[in-house]
Structure 1
């Protein structure tokens, strides 16, 4: 069973991943936030994140996002040139800035692109590929264009978030469709979506016998100890979870204080740490952190936890 920390734009960059692995152990597989082309080249910030020395304490897989065969081919070539031996294909991003340009979950229904994806995977036997998908953009049957093509090649896994893009992160998970994919895929399948507690992990494993792993994104941002708790076989009480989260936060804050200049830069990087943690730290502290406009106010807000 494999445990994957889903990438989240604006959150899971190299410093966050490094200090998460340092604090909670490196049992998770980590991913870069999606890497895309800009004017035909890799964005410098994406390349910096992927090649950072902070990645040395974790298993890290770069994730790429694309809209057509040309973009995919170029990204695969560029990632190989920069040392990648594994590549994750983002065909699941639901955000309109990406789907509106034909990327992310908008690719799932594209029959021609599904064929191209399988062809590019087959033509790069030295690279281990994985795929992250949603059920589709607006129709929960759109995946039926993609899975038969992926069945023609070998990937390490297909991570499935069982919603369509138009649902974003709301509405019910469409679990019947996930079960269909699990039954029809010749490649290993990973479950992603609405995992917040150790009990949620148990339920997924009990409901879907035969899955290859669990992928968690927002649930780990809210409760960074979640996978460590599950693997230890003992759920931590909230006081212990928050104490460890504060240690993690202090490491990250110290890093940003040493490498960034001025309150505004530091606050812009550290405040997202708490975005999903309202339930863990309490609404009073969470709101105070959100409102903090300088480091003095920020530190006072964190002291409320």
Structure 2
């Protein structure tokens, strides 16, 4: 298996919050890509590399960034011989390719023909999450059908459905559809989906089909990887794997909360997510 970490975003909300902060406590975050933010005792992205390496679930880790942050990512990756970097060649948020196109870029650039962990570079999970257990579940589903892919979900509150992609499932936890930021009255499900998927190698050619299908669509219909998963669900089987929750570093307050948890509450850094 391979891991592709999507890290080509520009963190505009976070940088706007940092610029507006008058305390001076977060001046050191100016110009830092979200995946490279210090979380606890290491960069956010380093938590993923440590867990992927320690759990031995993949034999390649690929990170997609942009041209603006490429030097910083290359400097970071110098400490990890199992990490390779590719740039999407953009230098601004307005010029971004979108996460699905970045995933396609990684698949083609690194000639990936294997199952793939797709990981959002601004996301971390709670301590109940285990890469090894998730991989085991994925391979169980592969025995049943080689088309099977997996997405994660956790329970959100009624007043949070409008923030997330919400997946609806059947009794066997097969995804029926995914609604993008619905009102609580528009779905009975409260299963929020973070940017983390285990895509079967059989589903990778569908990236081309999705982007061709959406070539004339506005960016919001093809940017987030959840758009691809939503499109994939009626075409190939996708199952849900339940987790306790996540840290989504989007703005300054969510970063503060995440950093504080890792400094004060994380029980075992070495076994985290393994």
Question: Whose strand fraction is larger, Structure 1's or Structure 2's?
Answer: 2
Q: Normalized against structure 1, the TM-score is what?
A: 0.26
Which structure has more RCO (C-alpha within 8 Å, separation ≥ 6)? Answer: 2
Question: Whose helix fraction is larger, Structure 1's or Structure 2's?
Answer: 1
